[in-house]
């Protein structure tokens, strides 16, 4: 078959260029973003095949040409932590929080994750697929070009498998790369209130073998937190996941620092996510590991908890990704543009650091950094084109508008 060539010309700023082989950025590197002004970008089939300054480009009639005068072109957002498959919403808890209850108090009353699990139980796989497809299409239009999605609202054998099968159907139905994470240990179902070990045994002995048999997951997750799952519980779950080839990507340090980071690193976790509460020892452990931190400012914003210490991570040379945590309880938002703005405004990091954390470092947090996350020859043509703006810094600054005009995933325009 004849190859298809596309060219984007007169790009005001081509942003996020990296050399082949660069898989993540840390420390001061995060504050630098390599950019070409007045650039072109060439795409052959689904891959980036060339780029450079306009003056070095020779037009050829084989190309389909896209004019990007006044526009910024940058790599798609890589959202490495979401719970995008869910049933129903939780506005009632939102009102309860406005009236003074905390996220943890709502959970202690049987709301929160257990509320979502009840809704999921009465929702069919087809309905779940339909609502999740809509959400996925929405975030793709907002510039997300690769995404991780977790289970964790099933909390029963059938419920967890239903969620993971929905994720598999999304993978089969869309071009966007999707990583699937099994989060059976998200909350303890009521039925097991006084018998946590029995629930963990269900995860280990019944859910995991079937998940493996149907090839439903890439990663294993645990909500390691006071009143949820302890470090010992997490050890049992990730050890079992390891036997089935699932690497850990875990929720730790959202409300308390209880040793989850150290345990996750011991098991070579791909990422440790949340980190709103960090001890000195936690920084120390992360700086000696290949595990990437993943920060979720949209969750901090929505449930009004501290923001993760992004600036300190930069000072300590610890790489981090930014992700949306899209879910009905703590972050009903999958818009990575807002995540970038919140990171800049509330975590006080530069727009450059926010973009790097949401592109190349997000790719690293999904083990996709050799395929996406930067403008690099040979990577998937996963890119966003802005409307006419002054520079990439305008995007987090003008935080209330959508500045993405067009998005491309693997060489195909999605809007
Ligand atoms: O990452 N903290 C644990 N899990 C989700 C929230 C889940 C929910 O409230 O439904 C999170 O914030
Ligand atoms: Fe989460």
3-state secondary structure 182-225: EEEECCCCHHHCCCHHHHHHHHHHHHHHHHHHCCCCCEEEEEEC
First to last CA, the chain: 25
Ligand 1 near 76 CB (within 6 A) = no
Q: CA distances (Å), 82 to each of 3, 37, 326, in order? A: 35, 34, 5
Number of structural domains found in the chain: 2
For residues 114 and 22, membership in a common domain is answered with no
- Report the CATH number that the domain containing residue 199 is assigned in CATH: 3.20.20.140
CA of 183 to the centre of ligand 1 (A): 11
| Residues 199, 292 share a domain | yes
Cβ atoms 221, 185 nearer than 8 A:
yes
**43 vs 410: CA distance, rounded Å:** 9
* Residue 339, in any domain of the structure: yes
DSSP track, 308-352:
P-HHHHHHTT--EEE----BTTTB----HHHHHHHHHHHS---HH
Beta-strand pair 35-44/47-53 = antiparallel
CA atoms within 13 A on the CB side of 54: 13
Q: What is the DSSP letter of 29?
A: G
* Domain co-membership, 287 together with 147: yes
Tell me the best of 102, 107, 182, 325 to mutate to test the pocket of ligand 1, counting ligand atoms within 8 Å of each CB and taking the most.
Answer: 325
Ligand 1 lined by 328 (C-beta under 6 Å): yes
Ligand 1 atom index nearest CA of 223? 3
Among 325, 341, 364, the domain boundary falls at 364
Closest CA to 300 of 273, 344, 327, 330: 330
The whole-number pLDDT of residue 62 equals 85
Supply the CATH number for residue 66's domain.
2.30.40.10
Q: What is the rounded distance in angstroms from the CA atom of residue 145 to the CA atom of residue 337?
A: 13
Q: Rounded to the nearest 5°, which phi and psi values hold at 176? A: -65, 130
Tokens coding 160: 């967890």
Contact predicate 340/396, CB 8 Å? yes
The pLDDT score that the predictor gives to residue 3 is: 84
Looking at residue 133, its pLDDT comes to 98
112, 251, 277, 328, best to mutate for ligand 1 pocket (most atoms within 8 Å of CB): 251
- 277 and 397 belong to one structural domain: no
Is 204 a pocket residue for ligand 1 (Cβ < 6 Å)?
Answer: no
Looking at residue 369, what is its pLDDT? Answer: 98
41 within 8 A of 7, measured Cβ to Cβ: yes
Which residues 6+ apart lie within 8 Å of 243 measured at CB? 208
The ligand that comes nearest to the alpha carbon of residue 224 is: 1
Q: Is residue 369 part of a domain?
A: no
Q: Are residues 122 and 180 in the same domain?
A: yes
C-alpha pair distances (Å), 272 with each of 320, 401, 406: 9, 31, 32
The rounded Å distance from CA 368 to ligand 2 centre is 20
- The backbone torsions φ and ψ at residue 276, rounded to the nearest 5 degrees and listed phi first, read -70, -30
- Do 324 and 391 sit in the same domain of this protein? no
Q: What is the pLDDT along the chain (415 residues), one digit of tens a residue?
A: 678 999 999 999 999 999 999 999 999 999 999 999 999 999 999 999 999 999 999 888 888 999 999 999 999 999 999 999 999 999 999 999 999 999 999 998 889 999 999 999 999 999 999 999 999 999 999 999 999 999 999 999 999 999 999 999 999 999 999 999 999 999 999 999 999 999 999 999 999 999 999 999 999 999 999 999 999 999 999 999 999 999 999 999 999 999 999 999 999 999 999 999 999 999 999 999 999 999 999 999 999 999 999 999 999 999 999 999 999 999 999 999 999 999 999 999 999 999 999 999 999 999 999 999 999 999 999 999 999 999 999 999 999 999 999 999 999 999 8
397 CA distance to ligand 2 middle (Å): 26
Please give the Cα distance from 111 to 331 (Å, whole number).
Answer: 15
Pair (350, 202) in one structural domain: yes
Residue 216: predicted pLDDT: 98
- The reply to whether 24 and 98 lie within a common domain is no
Best CA proximity match to 228, nearest among 103, 326, 366: 103
Q: Confirm or reject: Cβ of 297 under 6 Å from ligand 1.
A: no
Instruction: Give the integer Cα–Cα distance in Å for 226 and 203.
Output: 20
Q: Which of 364, 385, 402 is the last residue of a domain?
A: 364
Name the residue range of residue 48's domain.
Answer: 5-75+374-413
Q: Are strands 178-185 and 144-150 parallel, antiparallel or unpaired?
A: parallel
Do 360 and 348 belong to one domain?
yes
Answer yes or no: are the C-beta atoms of 178 and 225 closer than 8 Å: no
Q: How far is the CA of 72 from the centre of ligand 2 (A)?
A: 31
In a domain, 153, yes or no: yes
Q: What are phi and psi of 169, to 5 degrees?
A: -65, -35
CB of 93 closer than 8 Å to CB of 329: yes
The pLDDT of residue 1 is: 66
Ligand 1 atom with minimal separation from the 103 CA: 9
Does residue 395 share a domain with residue 360?
no
Classify residue 185: in a domain, yes or no: yes
Say yes or no: 261 and 385 in one domain.
no
Residues 128 and 214 in one domain: yes
């Amino acid at each position: 078959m004849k190859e298809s060539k596309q060219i984007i010309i007169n790009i005001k700023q081509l942003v996020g260029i990296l050399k082949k082989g660069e898989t993540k950025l840390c420390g001061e590197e995060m504050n630098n973003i390599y950019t070409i002004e007045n650039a072109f970008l060439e795409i052959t089939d689904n891959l980036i095949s060339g780029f450079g300054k306009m003056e070095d480009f020779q037009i050829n009639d084989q190309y389909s040409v896209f004019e990007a005068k006044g526009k910024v072109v940058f790599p798609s957002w890589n959202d490495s932590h979401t719970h995008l498959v869910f049933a129903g919403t939780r506005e009632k808890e939102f009102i309860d929080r406005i009236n003074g209850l905390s996220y943890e108090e709502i959970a202690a009353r049987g709301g929160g994750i257990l509320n979502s699990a009840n809704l999921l139980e009465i929702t069919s796989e087809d309905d779940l697929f339909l609502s999740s497809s809509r959400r996925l299409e929405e975030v793709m239009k907002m510039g997300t070009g690769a995404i991780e999605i977790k289970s964790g609202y099933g909390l029963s054998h059938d419920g967890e498998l239903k969620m993971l099968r929905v994720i598999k159907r999304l993978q089969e139905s869309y071009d966007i790369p999707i990583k699937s994470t099994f989060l059976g240990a998200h909350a303890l179902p009521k039925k097991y209130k006084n018998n946590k070990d029995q629930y963990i045994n269900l995860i280990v002995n019944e859910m995991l073998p079937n998940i493996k048999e149907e090839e439903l997951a890439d990663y294993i997750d645990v909500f390691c937190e006071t009143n949820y799952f302890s470090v010992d519980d997490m050890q049992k779950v990730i050890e079992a996941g390891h036997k089935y080839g699932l690497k850990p990507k875990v929720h730790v340090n959202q409300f308390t620092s209880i040793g989850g980071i150290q345990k996750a690193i011991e098991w070579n976790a791909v990422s440790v996510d949340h980190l709103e509460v960090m001890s000195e020892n936690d920084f120390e452990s992360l700086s000696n590991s290949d595990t990437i931190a993943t920060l979720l400012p949209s969750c901090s914003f929505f449930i009004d908890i501290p923001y993760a210490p992004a600036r300190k991570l930069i000072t300590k040379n610890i790489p981090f990704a930014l992700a949306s945590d899209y879910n009905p309880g703590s972050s009903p938002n999958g818009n990575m543009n807002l995540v970038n703005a919140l990171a800049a405004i509330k975590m006080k990091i530069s727009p450059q650091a926010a973009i790097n954390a949401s592109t190349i470092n997000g790719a690293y947090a999904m083990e996709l950094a050799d395929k996406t996350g930067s403008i690099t020859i040979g990577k998937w043509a996963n890119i966003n084109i802005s409307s006419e703006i002054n520079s990439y810094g305008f995007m987090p600054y003008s935080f209330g508008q959508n500045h993405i005009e067009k998005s491309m995933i693997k060489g195909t325009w999605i809007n």
